[in-house]
Amino acid sequence: MRAAAAELGIMVTLLATQSGIKGGSIARYPAYAHAIGNAVTVQVTVDEISGPIVIALWLWMAWTSSRGKQRGRIALAVFFGLTSLSVLYSLSQGSLVYAPAAMSVGLGLWAIAAAAIMLIFNKASSPYFQRREPVLA
């Protein structure tokens, strides 16, 4: 649930700082103003479309994990890997310089996902995710 809220925070932050991201990038590279404006608009549009899908995935993973389903654990591990790659990609593209607010919220999301991974794959939580035979009354 916290990761879904963090993802919503990322969407709000990107929408709120879109003009600042454009302005800062254009000020740094004025010769590419038109291309930068288009690139930022396209990226924000992609984030607006993918954001609700990612929020729904986080909620689904929380729901399946709360029911002790193994597929929730696997999906969380895959999603954590994708989130890690996304953070590394953003760092390599200079997001700390051009979009520090969005990057800091993204790092917060990564920290939440890392905590979830540590808790779900903890030895103490493993029995919760093991297959149980139905009890016949």
- Residue 110: phi and psi, rounded to 5, are -60, -40
Question: What predicted TM-score, i.e. pTM, was given to this entire model?
Answer: 0.75
Q: According to the model, what pLDDT value does residue 110 have?
A: 92
Tokens 């990322």, residue? 10
- Ordered per-residue pLDDT tens for the chain, 137 residues: 678 888 888 888 878 888 887 887 788 888 888 888 888 888 888 888 888 998 899 889 888 888 888 888 899 999 899 989 988 998 888 777 777 887 888 888 899 999 988 988 888 877 777 766 666 66
How far is 96 from 90, CA to CA, in rounded Å?
8
Q: According to the model, what pLDDT value does residue 132 have?
A: 65
Which long-range contacts link 126-134 to residues 24+ away (Cβ below 8 Å)? 128/68, 129/68, 129/69, 129/70, 129/73, 131/70, 132/68
How far is 68 from 131, CA to CA, in rounded Å?
9
How far is 56 from 135, CA to CA, in rounded Å?
32
